[in-house]
Amino acid sequence: MFFFQAEIFLPTNVFKQSMDKCNYDDPSLIAMYYDDVLPKEHAFTDHLLTCIQCKEKLLNLERDLFLMKNMPLIELPRKY
């Protein structure tokens, strides 16, 4: 079971956006938002409240980082 930050979940009434292509197709914006280095007044912060695609990318990033952080390290053979 995964536990994600509550602030990244959307209320159900926000899913009104059509499935059109998102104008914020820049992975660095999602990374900067996740790292909390994107200014709060940046337009992307508000965009995340309504964009299903960007919200999904953010959730995927958070999930992947969680999995990598909790993955056990495996010692490589000496001949590797």
**pLDDT the model gives residue 21:** 77
Instruction: Report the pLDDT value the prediction gives residue 74, as an integer from 0 to 100.
Output: 87
What is the spatial distance between Cα 43 and Cα 41, in angstroms, rounded to a whole number?
Answer: 6
What mean pLDDT, rounded, does the chain reach? 79
The predicted pLDDT at position 77 comes to: 87
DSSP state of 42: S
Distance CA 28, CA 3 (A): 23
pLDDT of residue 17: 46
Which pTM value belongs to this model?
0.64
pLDDT at 19: 53
Those residues of the chain that have pLDDT short of 70 are 1-20, 80
